[in-house]
Amino acid sequence: MPPKQKIPITRARARNPGDQKRQNPLLVAAGEGVSIACSDAAPHHNTPGVTWIPLQDAVAFQYAPIWRKQGETARVRAFTEQLHRTVQTTAATN
């Protein structure tokens, strides 16, 4: 079996959105450009050489639960129902 090929950081490609979120600060630190990200993620990415500057008057970031297309189960429904209840309760108290 041939050895795994190392991909230079300039050619790194995300395999899923989570990978991309982790790669973006690394690519920025490597001088490969700039990126837009949720500023709430800044504390989770302690990447040397990267500055996070919140955008003023930007549209609020919205979250959405996701799951596999064919994977809606009782557990998924229970999770999303609880999520909606929690969001409604939090919104009502703020």
Tell me the mean pLDDT in the region 44-73: 81
Examine the pLDDT at 39 and tell me if it is beyond 80: no
At residue 10 the predicted structure's pLDDT band, cuts being 50, 70 and 90, is very low
pTM check: above 0.85: no
Residue 30 Ramachandran class (φ > 0 left, ψ -120 to 50 alpha, else beta)? alpha
Residue 92 Ramachandran class (φ > 0 left, ψ -120 to 50 alpha, else beta)? alpha
Least confident of 2-11, 32-41, 46-55: 2-11
pLDDT of residue 82: 92
